[in-house]
Structures are given as C-alpha cells and as structure tokens.
Amino acid sequence: MLSNRERKIVERFEKSRKIQSAGSLRSQIGEEETFFTMMRRMARENKLAVFSAIVILLIILAAILAPVLTPYSYSDMDLMNRLSPPSSAHLFGTDEAGRDILTRLLYGARVSLLTGVVPTIMSMLLGALLGVVSGIYGGWLDDLIMRLADITLAFPSMLLAMVIMYMLGDGLINVFLTLALVNWASVARIVRAQTLQLKKTEFVEAARVIGVRRGKMIFRHILPNCLPTLIVLFTLNVPAAILTESSLSFLGLGLQPPSASWGLMVNSGRQYLYAAPWLSLAPGIAIMVSVLAFNFLGDGLRDVLDPYQKK
C-alpha cells in the first residue's frame, strides 16, 4: 500500500494525464507545449520559482568559486580571533576556533549541494529502476522488491540514517550512501504504482499489439511517461536530503570537524548560542534558504508539469 504522499503524487499525475488527453480547452486552442514554452510559462506565472532558480544558481557559483571569493581557509584556526562578531574583516564573524564563518559557509555549500544532489540521483536511479522492473515484471521479483521497500520504510528515516551512518562510519561518501539507501524505497513505490497505471493504458496495449518487447517498452513508453513525476520527486528529494545531512551532522554523525558542513556548524555553535548567536544562525539560515529555494522551484515545476492545475 502506498503512503499518503505517494498516493497523492501518483493520483495527481494519473489525473493530469487524463486531463491532458481529454484535451480540454488547451487542445482546442491548439498551442504546442514544449519544454521551453513550459519554462517560459513558469517564468511568467511563478516569479518565486524563477527567483529560487537564481538563488540556487548563486549558491552553486558560490560553492564552485569559494577559494576565489574568500582569502581565508575553511580549516585554519586563528585562536586570537575566536568568536569575533561580524565585522568588515569577517562579514559573518568567526567561530570558536577563529575560522571565518563566511568562508566556512561557502565551502559548506559544496557539502550541502553535493549531499542534496548526489544521493538523490543515486536513490532515484535505483528507485526508478527497481520500481519499473517491479511494475513490469511482477511476480516474485515484485514481491521481493516491494517487501524490501516496506522494510526500509518501516524505520523512521532519521533513525535509519543514524544506524546506517553508525554502521558505515563517518565521511562524505558514507553520507551519500546512507541518504541513497534511506530514500530509494519511496521512489521505487511511486514509480511502480505509475508503471502499473501506465501498463493499463491503451497506448501501452497498442505497443503490445505491435509486438514491442517488454524491455523496449520500459524505455520507449514507461520511463518517458514517468519523467514528470521523477522531475518533481527530484526537486522534493534534494531539499529533504540536504535537511537530513544537516540533521545528521548536527547530531555529530555526518561529517566530522574541521570539514565545513552547515549542520555541523550549527551544532558546534550551539554551545555559544547565547554569547555568539551568529555561529549557529548563519549556517541555519543558509540551510533554510537553500531548502526553501529548492522547494519553491519544485512547486513551480510541479505546477507547470501538471496540466491539472492549469487554468
């Protein structure tokens, strides 16, 4: 059985497909909707999404250009300048070891973006593959994959991530693996449900009448039609992964100092919350802004890809 959120996503896209095919007002108007016109429509209708896209681009640039943008190193300590408040030399102040917070934020963006994107891509690839296979072939393979998904989803995701991190040990790669292992199951279930629905459609039946084999069917008909769902899932899962990473680091289970991870920075600033609130505040806000930006962009994309919401 699907969880609520999953059921929603699947139902909505099923509905949107029907609406799209019912070709209401739009097909009467008969304007072509390509990817670019869609994006343009989003740009016109949803300024917030565009703004968010710009914010994300800026974060990416900042992450890439970190060494150029700042004269400081993210790990060199300067014990003379511990906990100094924001000033012209240190825009966001320094932390308990005298490291420049802005510098650490810029380098931390690398960690957050990577932990947002890499494990999400991994979990989506794994989930989509298993989901499609499960839906198309059915039988014992389906049972096996779905029971594994059930088991994965039986744990609170934070707790599961903690246990896997504990098992694997610290490190960026292990964070990637952990997040991928935690998130694949819901992707698989959503893709499977959609595959089952697509399997029932007449155009898939038509392909069977023609004699298209199952393997080809997946790549020609099933996956392309799952794409809008996958794109939306991607934009929802990236911020979720960023949050989970920062939470893990916050608990001391993700990356270890002196690595610059936003969650880690919030955690180490906790002890100085009352004396030097900027220590935690700056990375906290950075997390929030990037997660918000991804969420807004995701909302915008969903609205655009989902004809059901179109006026």
Q: How far is the CB of 205 from other proteins (least distance, A)?
A: 7
Which residues, 214 to 233, sit near other proteins by CB under 8 A? 216, 220-221, 224-225, 227
Task: Name residues whose C-beta falls within 8 Å of residue 137's C-beta, 6 or more positions apart in sequence.
Answer: 214
Nearer to other proteins, 121 or 308 (CB): 308
The label of the residue with tokens 């909505």 reads 12
Which residues, 267 to 286, sit near other proteins by CB under 8 A? 267, 270, 273-274, 277, 280, 284
The label of the residue with tokens 């509905």 reads 15
Secondary structure class of 220 (helix, strand, coil):
helix
Partnered with residue 100 across adjacent β-strands are: 94
Q: Which of 270, 298, 288 is nearest to 105 (CA)?
A: 288
Cβ 94 vs Cβ 84: under 8 Å: yes
Residue type, 296: F
Residues comprising the chain, all counted: 311
Q: How many residues bind other proteins (CB under 8 A)?
A: 80
Nearer to other proteins, 70 or 112 (CB): 112
Could you say which of 71, 139, 211, 215 contacts other proteins (CB under 8 A)? Answer: 211
Could you say which of 177, 208, 231, 258 contacts other proteins (CB under 8 A)? Answer: 208
Element housing 206 (H / E): helix 202-210
Q: Which of 233, 234, 223 is nearest to 117 (CA)?
A: 234
Nearer to other proteins, 176 or 262 (CB): 262
Nearer to other proteins, 70 or 207 (CB): 207
Question: Would you give the binding string for other proteins spanning residues 29-48, x where CB under 8 A is met?
Answer: xxxxx---------------
Which residues, 129 to 148, sit near other proteins by CB under 8 A? 147
Q: How far is the CB of 238 from other proteins (least distance, A)?
A: 12
